[in-house]
Amino acid sequence: MDPIRLIEIKEEILSDNNQLAEELREKLRKSGTLLLNLMSSPGSGKTSLILRTAEGLKNYLHLGVIEADIDSTVDAEKVAAQGVPAVQLRTGGFCHLDSSMVAKGLTALNTDKLDVIIVENVGNLVCPAEFDTGAHKNIMILSVPEGDDKPLKYPLMFSVCDVLLVNKTDYLSMSDFNREDLRRRVLALNPQIKIIEISCKTGEGITEWLDWLKNALADFKAKR
């Protein structure tokens, strides 16, 4: 297991973020590496999902992870402990990732050997939705304890994502979370989004998520 690489990010947001994002996307398309941008509130289960994904796909594809955190390396340590190549971006005060930060993470990973790279964005439902990271697909997690009203309050996040993972379904029995209200609110914002209910704790729904990811990778490689 490699030691965690730590990259300090201090530069101002690049004005040419969108252009760099397109360049990253195209470069990774050519090399056959699917880049996923994973976003959620703090504590919704991003790292747990990555660990479940690494475990479920370890005999199927080569996964790499770029972790973003304001001031710690705990997530990258957990991921690297599973034998998955991981880079930690320490964002200082930044509340989101942009494409220049992701580019630094990609440089630190050896992307040639990787089929899929998951970028764990900063835990935040607001700012990360506004910045193109260069990912091919945006994935978000909403956890049951956060409530079914979040699409009303953070509409951009739900609008820019390809997949919504509704995590912590093991809390449904003791919550007033209404799955149909959530589904209706999300689909009103984004009719194309794929919604999958999961529990990283019990494993419920993880197979459906892994199947989505395998299919997305097959489509991606077929279109090269």
Q: How would you classify the pairing of strands 137-143 and 86-90?
A: unpaired
Q: How far is CA 173 from CA 88, 145, 176, 186, 198, in A?
A: 36, 11, 8, 21, 14
Q: Which of 14, 162, 184 is nearest to 102 (CA)?
A: 14
Pick the binder of a copy of itself from 93, 180, 222, 223 (CB under 8 A): 93
Least Å distance between CB 122 and a copy of itself?
6
Distance in Å, CB of 155 to a copy of itself, minimum: 5
- Could you say which residues in the range 134-163 bind a copy of itself, by CB under 8 A? 143, 145-147, 149-150, 152-156
Selected from 42, 59, 191, 222, the binder of a copy of itself by CB under 8 A is 42
Task: Answer yes or no whether residue 6 interacts with a copy of itself by CB under 8 A.
Answer: no
3-class secondary structure per residue, 42-72: CCCCHHHHHHHHHHHHCCCCCEEEEEEECCC
Count of residues that interact with a copy of itself, criterion CB under 8 A: 33
Which residue type occupies 53?
T
- Measured on CA atoms in the order 153, 45, 117, 15, is the torsion positive or negative? positive
Rank residues 15 and 59 by Cβ distance to a copy of itself and give the closer one.
15
Tell the residue number behind the tokens 């990732």, with chain if given.
97
Residue 136 in tokens: 């091919």
- For residue 101, what are its two tokens? 């930060």
Taking CB under 8 A as the criterion, the residue among 171, 172, 187, 194 binding a copy of itself is: 171
Region binding a copy of itself by CB under 8 A among candidate stretches 5-13, 36-44, 103-111, 204-212: 36-44
Residue numbers at the binding site for a copy of itself (CB under 8 A):
41-44, 69-72, 74, 93, 95, 122-127, 130, 143, 145-147, 149-150, 152-156, 168, 170-171, 174
